[in-house]
Amino acid sequence: MAYKYLLFDCDRTLLDFNKAMVNALKLMLTKYGFTVTDEMISFYNSLNESLWKQLEEGLITKEQLVHTRFPVMCSRYGVPYPGKEKMETDYFVSLAEGHDIMEGADEVLKNLYGRYGILVITNGFVEVQKKRMSESGLMPYVDYVFISEAVGVSKPDPKFMDAVIAHIGDEDKSHYLIIGDSMNADIALGNNSGVDTVLVGSAEIKGYDFQPTYRIETLKEIEKILEG
């Protein structure tokens, strides 16, 4: 094993996206007249994940994703939609404030920094993800952040990995290791690109025609794989 570059997913791998999403959603929905319930949060989460999956599969654009979520929410819960960009902008502003880290992420990056190239690969919006990462306290241990909006394609499109390799300048794919929580984005990116992967957490792996190279329950276990 001769990994040189560790490609960490951001949300639910390094940063606590669930906490950031719930906080941002509650603030925004309350502002626009919703009486927020757990069922409402659950419905939004399912809707959002479905739309992101469609985006990752190339079935919709980011513009369609962004401008579908809240009209659907308003229609479902009987709240007037205030018009394009209003709810969306308020949500993004609040979401960008969510920079809580996943347990152990800071310790892991600190221990690995200097021994490996530490890269962050994330599907998301530049304005939101750059702010969240910069305020998380993790950036001193990160060499570069690749954000799908800036790259021009989303994980798992192999062109995303092509962009990483072009930036690094090392074309030997055996030197790269993708680490993330999503079969559809992170592990599929590795499968599509010929790069080894680590699945973090409890995502279902049945039903896929590809599998992660390694599987760990918590991020801290990544060091055991690297020590090999």
3-state secondary structure the chain: CCCCEEEEECECCCECHHHHHHHHHHHHHHHCCCCCCHHHHHHHHHHHHHHHHHHHCCCCCHHHHHHHHHHHHHHHHCCCCCCCCHHHHHHHHHHCCCCCECCCHHHHHHHHECCEEEEEEECCCHHHHHHHHHHHCCHHHCCEEEEHHHHCCCCCCHHHHHHHHHHHCCCCHHHEEEEECCHHHHHHHHHHHCCEEEEECCCCCCCCCCCCCEEECCHHHHHHHHHC
87 and 132 inside one domain: no
Q: Are 62 and 107 found together in one domain?
A: no
Q: Are residues 118 and 62 in the same domain?
A: no
Residue 7: φ, ψ to 5°: -105, 100
- Is there a single domain that holds both residue 58 and residue 122? no
Q: Do 167 and 83 have their domain in common?
A: no
Sheet holding 196-200, edge to edge: 144-147, 117-122, 5-9, 176-180, 196-200, 214-216
Residue 111 and residue 196 share a domain: yes
Q: Are residues 115 and 218 in the same domain?
A: yes
What's the pTM? 0.91
107 shares a domain with 60: no
Domain boundary among 95, 113, 133: 95
Kindly give the confidence (pLDDT) of every residue in the chain, 228 residues in length, as a single tens digit, with 9 standing for 90 and above.
Answer: 599 999 999 999 999 999 999 999 999 999 999 999 999 999 999 999 999 989 888 899 989 999 999 999 999 999 999 998 999 999 999 999 999 999 999 999 999 999 999 999 999 999 999 999 999 999 999 999 999 999 999 999 999 999 999 999 999 999 999 999 999 999 999 999 999 999 999 999 999 999 999 999 999 999 999 987
Known catalytic residues are 9
